[in-house]
Amino acid sequence: MHALAFFFAASCSLLATLPFTEPSKTQSSFTIDLIHHDSSLSPFYNSSMTRSQLIRNAAMRSISRANRLSFSHTLNKLKESPPEAIIIPNNGDYLMRIYIGTPSVERLAIADTGSDLTWVQCSSCDITKCFAQNTSFYDPKHSSTFAFFPCDSETCTQLPYSQYICGDSGECIYGYNYGDESYSYGGFGSDSISFDATAATPPNFPKFVFGCGYVNKITADKSRKPTGIVGLGAGPLSLVSQLGDEIGHKFSYCLLPFASNSSSKLKFGEAAIVQGNGVVSTPLIIKPDLPFYYLNLEGITVGAKTVKTGQTDGNIIIDSRSTLTYLEKNLYNEFVSLVKEIVAVEEENNYGPYPFDFCFTYKEGMSAPPDVVFHFTGGDVVLKPMHTLLLIEDNLTCSTVVPSSFGGISIFGNLAQIDFHVGYDIQGGKVSFAPTNCSLN
């Protein structure tokens, strides 16, 4: 769920003034499970689907429903409809458990590195305006620590004006539209949040700011029933920003192969420092008013040949939620011609199911598929064939790198990140990669 580009009119001052978690001298370091939506650990697991069906479904979910949204039907006090969004695919592949309130309530929510606000469906929600979920809606009245922000509170007024309105009782109402027509609006409040961490005393953060959504839609897939979104992106409202100093402004993940029966890991604090053999780092680029984490891709090497981008200012979004990797069209075309030279594809199958583009039938005698090196500024990430190719049906192999249809935006997706420990050091301004067997991590 990638929040629209217009959201962050707020400056860094928001970070300084929100009533975020109380500062603590001891830094928290903890690890939680990231559950692939389709894995056997997920409540949404469908055992009758084959691995290739699952992967294909995930890739199909990448199809973005680009649309210019007007929120006027619900937030009719807004003075203008939002400007064009940056539309990137929304898959919701990974879920994480959060525990909110006192006593705490467990929520299984989409972990999203492409947006900032965390929200859950709340009890004031009328089922016609929300989506069905398998547990009762979160009821703030049952939590002794929940508080709504009034409209004239500093926290509320620091939401950009196009993202909030004042309710009839003077309450702060947020409105978020996402690039795929998903949306949430509701009360803006704070409560404690904790995680089912492996630490002896699971860290608990008392005043986490989040949305109590009562008009919500997640378009990703009708069969998927998460209960909200956890925003791990850039921007002052994200979980990562709110935990801030507590976690040293660091988080990381280690994603397992698709069909694995263990859970992937999401780490915060010291645990998120990427160490070990073969660590490479590249500058993390955060652009004003956008929730995305950008890297700069200088070129791609396939076999002995390299295509260069000639760019330096952050041209690819690194995203844990997009299944596939998307390249700006010219770069994609050059990349695919190099792959074709090496694999010596005789007959290209032009009927790869959308959104796949380059597919072929692998035949005996064909050269082994090559490793592919993504040259990020200062750090080369070597991708194995398992990262870039997928057997999607009988003998039909497709490239998981596809052309971008998102206004020239490139995205480094999650299949390409499997079995890397990927660490984000927000203050240090870098993203690090280390090849890792994530099932041992």
- Binding string to ligand NAG for residues 307 to 346, with x set by CB under 6 A, is what? ----------------------------------------
* Least distance to ligand NAG, CB of residue 44, Å: 5
Instruction: Work out the end-to-end distance of the chain between its first and last CA atoms, rounded to an integer number of angstroms.
Output: 27
The burial class, CB within 10 Å (0-12 / 13-18 / 19+), for 144 is exposed
Nearer CB in complex with ligand NAG: 76/261? 261
Quick one: tokens of 90? 């929304």
Q: Taking Cα atoms as reference points, which of 55, 51, 44 lies closest to residue 353?
A: 55
Part in contact with ligand NAG (CB under 6 A); list of ranges 48-56, 116-124, 177-185, 192-200: 48-56
CB of 211 to ligand NAG, least distance (A): 23
Catalytic residue among 33, 38, 93, 112: 112
State in angstroms the smallest separation of the CB of 114 from ligand NAG: 24
Examine residue 48 and tell whether it contacts ligand NAG (CB under 6 A): yes
C-alpha to C-alpha distances, 364 to 344, 348, 394, nearest whole angstrom: 12, 15, 14
From 223, 288, 313, 347, residue interacting with ligand NAG (rule: CB under 6 A): 223
Considering the candidates 33, 93, 116, 319, report the single residue annotated as catalytic. Answer: 319
Q: Are strands 379-383 and 372-376 parallel, antiparallel or unpaired?
A: antiparallel
At 126, list the tokens. 């009328």
> Closest CB to ligand NAG belongs to which residue?
43
Q: Is the peptide bond before 355 cis (omega within 30 degrees of 0)?
A: yes
Interaction between residue 40 and ligand NAG (CB under 6 A): yes
Which alpha helices (H) appear in 38-93, and where do they start and end? 51-61
Beta-carbon neighbour count of residue 354 at 10 Å? Answer: 11
Binding part of the chain for ligand NAG, among 64-72, 161-169, 186-194, 433-441 by CB under 6 A, reads 433-441
Determine contact, residues 407/320, Cβ cutoff 8 Å: no
Dig out the tokens for 257 from the structure: 């192969």
CB 74 within 8 A of CB 129: no
Minimum CB distance to ligand NAG smaller for 349 or for 405: 349
Candidates 44, 153, 311, 384; binder of ligand NAG (CB under 6 A) is 44
In whole angstroms, how close is the CB of 49 to ligand NAG at the nearest point? 5
Report if residue 439 touches ligand NAG, rule: CB under 6 A: yes
Residue 217 φ then ψ, to 5°: -150, 135
Nearer to ligand NAG, 72 or 437 (CB): 437
- N residues, the chain: 441
Should residue 134 be labelled a site residue for ligand NAG when binding is judged by CB under 6 A? yes
Q: Are 167 and 173 in contact (CB under 8 A)?
A: yes
Rounded CA gap, 342 and 332, in Å?
16
261 counts as binding ligand NAG under rule CB under 6 A: yes
Using CB under 6 A as the binding rule, whether residue 273 contacts ligand NAG is answered as no
CB of 367 to ligand NAG, least distance (A): 16
- According to DSSP, residue 365 is labeled T
Stretch that binds ligand NAG, among 29-37, 42-50, 86-94, 191-199 (CB under 6 A): 42-50
Active site residue 319: yes
| Residue among 27, 178, 196 nearest 116 (CA) | 178
Write b or e for each residue in 244-275: b if 16 or more Cβ atoms lie within 10 A of its Cβ, otherwise e: bebbbbbbbbbbbbbebeebbbbbbbebbbbe
Relative to beta strand 119-121, strand 204-217 is parallel
Number of residues that bind ligand NAG (CB under 6 A): 18
Residue type, 68: R
- Judge whether 313 counts as a catalytic residue: no
Q: How far is the CB of 262 from ligand NAG (least distance, A)?
A: 9
Q: 26 or 261: whose CB is closer to ligand NAG? A: 261
CB atoms within 10 A of CB 334: 18
Residue 437 found at the interface with ligand NAG (CB under 6 A): yes
Q: Which of 13, 24, 49, 407 binds ligand NAG (CB under 6 A)?
A: 49
Residue nearer to ligand NAG on the CB measure, 223 or 277: 223
**Helix residue spans in 176-312 (DSSP H):** 239-243
Choices 21-29, 37-45, 94-102, 265-273 (CB under 6 A): range interacting with ligand NAG: 37-45
Least Å distance, CB 325 to ligand NAG, is 20
The stretch near ligand NAG (CB under 6 A) out of 40-48, 77-85, 313-321, 323-331 is 40-48
Sheet strands (E) in 248-315: 250-254, 264-268, 280-283, 294-295, 297-302, 305-308
* Binding characters for ligand NAG, 356-375, by CB under 6 A (x = yes): -----x--------------
Kindly list the catalytic residues: 112, 319
> Which residues are at the interface with ligand NAG (CB under 6 A)?
40, 43-44, 46, 48-49, 53, 134, 223, 225, 259, 261, 361, 394-395, 437, 439-440
